Amino acid sequence: MDGRFNLDNQLCFRLYTASRLITQAYHPLLAEYGLTYPQYLVLMVLWEKDSQPVNDIAKRLMLETNTVTPLLKRMEAEGVLTRTQGKEDARQMIVSLTGKGKGLKSKLKDVPEAIGSSVLCQSVTPETVPGLFRMLDDIILQLKDKQ
């Protein structure tokens, strides 16, 4: 039998499954605040640096702007952020956190540790996480360069 087509031999399946399960682990932690995982990622980008163009947010999340824009519109409707025209370029939309969006940072302060501890196991320890990050970053860079 040709092992190339065995699901257990597919790195992509393992990465997909791990990503899906981690995203599911976020759900109960974020649902209390009416947030989805992609919205949480947007918040993290804006908590790092507020008032950014949509294009910069999309790049940081490695997504297309047409994927990010509907997400931002929903978050704006929920009062988490605002979108305003750029002063230098009216075609550019600048995304900024509202008081509610800024306040969510303290409310969600325990989420990173909760998720981090949920993935710790025999092969993933606090000591091995930096190496895992490097391996995943290498894979991401390799695949991004091919696009």
Q: Is 98 helix (H, G, I), strand (E, B) or coil?
A: coil
Inform me whether the pLDDT recorded for 59 exceeds 70.
yes
Confirm whether 134 is domain-assigned. Answer: no
Which residues are 93's β-sheet partners?
85
Q: How many domains does the chain have?
A: 1
For the stretch 105-135, pLDDT in tens is: 999 999 999 999 999 999 999 999 999 999 9
Confirm whether 113 is domain-assigned. Answer: no
Confirm whether 61 is domain-assigned. Answer: yes
Angstrom CA distances, 147 to 74, 124, 134, 135, stand at: 29, 30, 20, 19
Amino acid 1: pLDDT = 65
Q: Stretch 60-87: mean pLDDT, rounded?
A: 96
Q: What's the CATH number where 42 sits?
A: 1.10.10.10
**Predicted TM-score (pTM) above 0.75:** yes
